[in-house]
Amino acid sequence: MEARQRISNASYSPEALKVLGQAFDEAWQDIAGNFGGNALAVQAARLKLANIMLDLGATSSDDPERIKNAALEIMARDLRTGAS
């Protein structure tokens, strides 16, 4: 799981990493079904979500639900606009 490792290896406090990991896992659970069985599409989406989480972790609270919701909004916006 390269995406999850990216979060686990980030330079944040242990508490922040726990929050980001939880937010990532919950967000992925919500959207995993949107990417079908294409392994490349799944990997790309997971990496994109991980990167969003890391960006949010630099500025967001210690509330995993808030981070999850913000990340899902960004993912949805980027899918609508075709941003990568």
8 A C-beta contact, residue 30 and residue 72 = yes
At residue 79, the pLDDT reads 82
pLDDT at 1 over 70: no
The residue range of the domain holding 12 is 2-81
Structure tokens that stand for 8 in this block:
């686990």
Tally of domains within the chain: 1
Kindly report the pTM of this predicted structure: 0.88
- What is the SS3 string spanning the chain? CHHHHHHHCCCCCHHHHHHHHHHHHHHHHHHHHHHCCCHHHHHHHHHHHHHHHHHHHCCCCCCHHHHHHHHHHHHHHHHHHCCC
- pLDDT, tens digit, 9 for 90 and up, residues 28-68: 999 999 988 899 999 999 999 999 999 988 876 789 999 99
Percent of the chain topping pLDDT 70: 96
